[in-house]
Amino acid sequence: MRSLLLPVILLLAVAGLFAAKKVISPLTSASNEQIDIVATISLSEDEVAQKLGADPGKGIVLLEVRLTPKTDTPVQVSPDDFILLAHDDGERSKPFEPSEIAGQGALVVSNSADGTKVKSTRGTIGMGGIIGGGGGASPGNSKAVTLNSKMNPKSAGNDKLLQALEAKQFPEKESIQPVEGYLYFPLDGKHKLKNLAVLYRGPAGRLNLEFQH
């Protein structure tokens, strides 16, 4: 009897190991009673350039988002509803506007702790660009970093890139229909996909979209 049960026990143990193994995927989703969100992230410069049809340069992560309202009540959506979180160092960033990446007179935002520079045209960090960082974080916890900014008069802009970014950007609108588009996040340093998450903090609630499920 024991000899018959042993293969069954081993099979169940192996199945349990596979069931417990987490999957890391660039595709993630989350939902509540009001909305469904599906998002796909592109981390490499080549992949981002291929999707856009123009190269925005290093340090730009592209997030393809589809938000679907689930009721007959219109939902107000905006790029600013989304935050990119790096769990490993606590870095949080809001998406850039196209003009912040390819427009004229971009600001250079530097981290005074390590000299890292990120492009932005806004004087207030948090409206677009890095808004936090530090030694590890959860979706509800981040540490502030000290940032300085100055105008870069040599930034002449890139019209082709600007048009590509604007044409595919996730819109700001009120809708009862699915809304989709691209979000352009700054990401400082090297991060593994499993350590990244997208946070939705909008009128339809709070959702965390993890890339390790």
163 inside domain? yes
pLDDT of residue 137: 52
Say how far apart CA 178 and CA 66 lie, in whole Å.
7
Strands (E), the chain: 27-31, 35-42, 60-69, 75-77, 82-86, 92-94, 107-111, 117-120, 129-132, 147-151, 173-175, 179-186, 196-202, 205-210
| 34-62 confidence digits (pLDDT tens) | 999 999 999 999 999 999 999 999 999 99
Report residue 61 CA to chain centroid gap: 7
Measure the CA angle with vertex 166, ends 145 and 148; round to 5°: 20
- pLDDT above 50 for 117: no
9 inside domain? no
Domain that holds residue 91: 25-210
200 inside domain? yes
3 inside domain? no
2 inside domain? no
Q: What is the pLDDT averaged over residues 104-128?
A: 46
The count of structural domains within the chain is: 1
68 inside domain? yes
**At what angle are helices 45-52 and 159-168 packed, to 10 degrees?**
80
Say how far apart CA 118 and CA 101 lie, in whole Å.
10
Nearest CA to 152 out of 118, 185, 176 is that of 118
Is this model's pTM higher than 0.95 or not? no
**Tokens 């979180």, located at residue:** 85
Instruction: Using CA atoms of 94, 84, 48, 149 in order, give the dihedral in degrees to the nearest 10.
Output: 40
| 130-178 confidence digits (pLDDT tens) | 555 444 455 655 444 433 444 454 455 689 999 999 999 999 999 999 9
Say how far apart CA 12 and CA 8 lie, in whole Å.
6
Using an 8 Å Cβ cutoff, are 136 and 37 in contact? no
31 inside domain? yes
13 inside domain? no
Structure tokens at 35: 């909305």
